[in-house]
Each structure stands twice: as structure tokens, then as C-alpha cells.
Structure 1
Amino acid sequence: MGVEHLDRAMLFFWKYGYEGAGTAGLTNAMGISTTSMYAAFGNKEKLFRKVLERYTEGPSPYLARALEEPTALGVATAILAGTIRTTTRPAHPHGCLGVQGALTTSDSGQEVRDLLVTWRNNGYSSVRDRFQRTVDEGDLPPRTDPALLARHLTTFAYGLAVQAASGVDRDELQDLADATLRSWPLS
């Protein structure tokens, strides 16, 4: 299976979530047979895992780049800009695959739900560790709690994604991000 098949599956999961993406719809969106999907990926859950990897590398690579920003404010600005850009692209479903993909699932989808919890927690941990470095480097005040600041930022970013999925437009989301960044702690 090529990247284009994975991209089609990603868009389908992104639009319908894990539970809402039935095998028939997935294979139709991918342009392959059910037999080919199972031969290439094993099952729907394994396909979703590959899709989440692709999502992280493809439409959602901004986190890794944001963490390279020289200041905490630069990191926060880049994360929120990336969130807004990724969740409001005209040719993609609005919202975030990693946030909405499996917020609620039946028992059979619990592993995917857990996978997405881990995915979100890994993002939070990366931001927390980066903010700890900015405290250590003197970019943020010594009294700053990097864990709390990272949790605040990632929670806000996920909230932006939910608002984008609800139809809030890019300009309004940017206004919200700007308001949050105006209260950013400075050293």
C-alpha cells in the first residue's frame, strides 16, 4: 500500500473518528478491497496506528518544529499557529484527528482510545520538558511551573481544535490564541 492509500484512510478517520469509520467506508475511501486492507495492515486498529503516525509526520508536524523555537513564547506561538493551521485547512476535515479520533469508544475501541491518550500525553511531556529548559535557561521566571504551563497550553490547543471542528473560523481562533499569548509569563 502506498502513502496515498494511507492518506485517504487518514482523511476518513479524521472525518469520522475511529468508531465511525467502518471497514466498507475505509476501503472505499482508500480505493482498495477489504482483503487488501487486511493483508497490508492486519486490522482496522493497526491501520489507525499507521494513520496516526502519518498524521503526526504529515498534516501535524508542527509540534517538533515548535519545540525548536529559541524561547518559550516562540514555542507557544508556533504550537498555537500550527494547531490553527492544521485544524482549519480547507481540503481537510476540521479539528484534530488526535483529539477527536476516539474520545468515546466502545469496549472494542479502548486500545485506540488509550493510544490517543498516550499520543496527547507525549505531546504534553515534550512541551513540559521544553518549558523546563526555558526556565533553566532563564527565559521564563524561576517561579514558573513548566508542567502547569505545558498543560495549560496543550489543553488550550486541543480546545482550539474542538472549536475548529465546531466551525469556528481561523480568524476567530487566531484572536483567541493572541489573547492567550498576551498573558504569557515573561522573565
Structure 2
Amino acid sequence: MEMTQDKPRKKAGRPLSFDREAALERAMMVFWRYGYEATSLNDLTAAMGITPPSLYTAFGDKERLFLEAVQYYLAKKPCFFESIVAEPLTAKESIRSYLEVIAISQTDPNQPPGCMVVTSATNCTAASSHVQEVLADYRGQMEAGIKKRLDRGVAEGEMAADTDTASLASFFVTVIHGMSTQARDNAGREKLLAIGAQAMRAWPDPL
């Protein structure tokens, strides 16, 4: 599934005196853990090990840094569906595998819990509406990717021709969002795997 958002552009200027990718990854972790609005410039510069002028030179303002951090997250984490779709699995196996990957990723003890795209810009003020819109678009792309795989399952005869793939995709995305919330509330990996397994019981009856 192709991402359609443009990547923020880095300003031209003197060569950077720090590892830009390492600083971006640290910023991602802060935004992921605390959310967009709750993260301050001081939080970011302390985590990234840079000064505010260096942050602005390398990344622009806070919003552009956040959006680039989200792009970095999407490139590194299994939030979307491409890798699962590429595997030689049936539609049902693809969805089951995806839910398992989500459960494992969102409870990784080496990173903040949950999904950054789901949790990092909730309950924001109107000033952050653009950030919310971008993340909503990414979530919409995830749902569209799942629906596309379900549609393929119908076309290949794995599922009944009258399967409501739009509603089924929405259901699985809702489950994924709920798993992220559960992870943020310290639910363990076994619980999230059980949620995913329970969700698969909603799979339509075979032909």
C-alpha cells in the first residue's frame, strides 16, 4: 500500500553536526510515548541531544518533525499491510497473521506500547487539526489495504461473492485500534493475541 503523504523537506544550510536519523528516531519515541500535543520542545531537544536552533534547521517546526517521525515509524513498524499481503497466504491467513504481528509489535517491551498512528494525536486542540487529519488518512489507508486483500479473496473464490468486505475491513481496523488502546493500558501480549484470535471468529462462513 503506497503512502500518499509528502515527506517534509529538510531545509538547506550548513552540514549537520549530529546523526539526523538517530535524532529522528529519538523524537519518534517521545511523540509515540507522550503524544503530539503533550510533547514539548524541551522534551524533544533533550531526547534528541540537540539545541532548538539545530532542531529547526534540520526538521523545521514541531509539526513537521512529528510528521517526519510518523513517516519514519511507518517505514520501521508493521502498522500497515504490505508485508503480509506480499506473503503467499489466503485472505484469512493474511488477516490472522496481521493481527498476530500487531499484538506482538504493540507489546514489545523495547518500545512504547500501542500504535503511534492510533494514539499519538487523540484529543488534540483545533490547532493540531492538520496532524489529526494526516493520521486519519494513514488509518484510512490501512483500512483500504485490508479491504483490498478481502476483495482479492472474494475474486479468488476464497470468500462468498456477497461478502461485505467494506464492513469486514472496518471491523478488523476497529479491533486493531482497540488492541492499541489495550496495549496502552498495559495489556499483555497473550491478551492481545487472544483478542485477535477472537476477532477471527467473525470471519464469514466458507463457501
Q: For this structure pair, what is the TM-score category when the shorter chain's length is used for normalisation?
A: over 0.9
Q: Does the residue aligned with 1:104 lie in a helix, a strand or coil?
A: coil
How has the CA–CA distance of structure 1 residues 48 and 131 changed in structure 2, closer, same or farther, with 3 Å as cutoff?
A: same
2:132 corresponds to which letter in structure 1?
A: R
Between 1:57-66 and 1:148-157, the stretch displaced more is 57-66
**Counterpart in the other structure of 1:103:** 122
Q: Does the residue aligned with 1:19 lie in a helix, a strand or coil?
A: coil
Aligned residue runs from structure 1 range 130-141, under 5 A: 130-141=149-160
1:127 is displaced (CA, Å) by: 1.1
Stretches of 4+ aligned residues off by more than 3 angstroms: none
1:61 is displaced (CA, Å) by: 5.3
1:42 partnered with 2:60: yes
**Counterpart in the other structure of 2:50:** 32
**Counterpart in the other structure of 1:144:** 163
RMSD (CA atoms): 1.3
1:140 corresponds to which letter in structure 2?
A: M
**Counterpart in the other structure of 2:12:** none
1:31 is displaced (CA, Å) by: 0.9
**Counterpart in the other structure of 2:22:** 4
**Counterpart in the other structure of 2:137:** 118
Aligned residue runs from structure 1 range 56-135, under 5 A: 56-60=74-78, 63-69=81-87, 70-135=89-154
- TM-score, normalised to structure 2, is 0.86
Structure 1, unmatched stretches of 5+, are none
More helix by share: 1
How many residues align structurally? Answer: 187
Deviations 1:136-160 (A, max 9, x none): 1111111211111111111101111
Deviations 1:5-56 (A, max 9, x none): 1110110000000001111101111111111111111111111111111111
**Percent identity, aligned pairs only?**
32
**Counterpart in the other structure of 1:51:** 69
Between the aligned partners of 1:78 and 1:6, the Cα distance in structure 2 is: 29
- TM-score, normalised to structure 1, is 0.95
Contact 1:10 1:52 in 2 (8 A): yes
> Which entry has the higher C-alpha Rg, 1 or 2?
2
**Counterpart in the other structure of 2:39:** 21
Q: Does the residue aligned with 2:36 lie in a helix, a strand or coil?
A: helix
Q: Does the residue aligned with 1:20 lie in a helix, a strand or coil?
A: coil
Between the aligned partners of 2:78 and 2:25, the Cα distance in structure 1 is: 13
Between the aligned partners of 1:68 and 1:78, the Cα distance in structure 2 is: 12
Structure 2, unmatched stretches of 5+, are 1-18
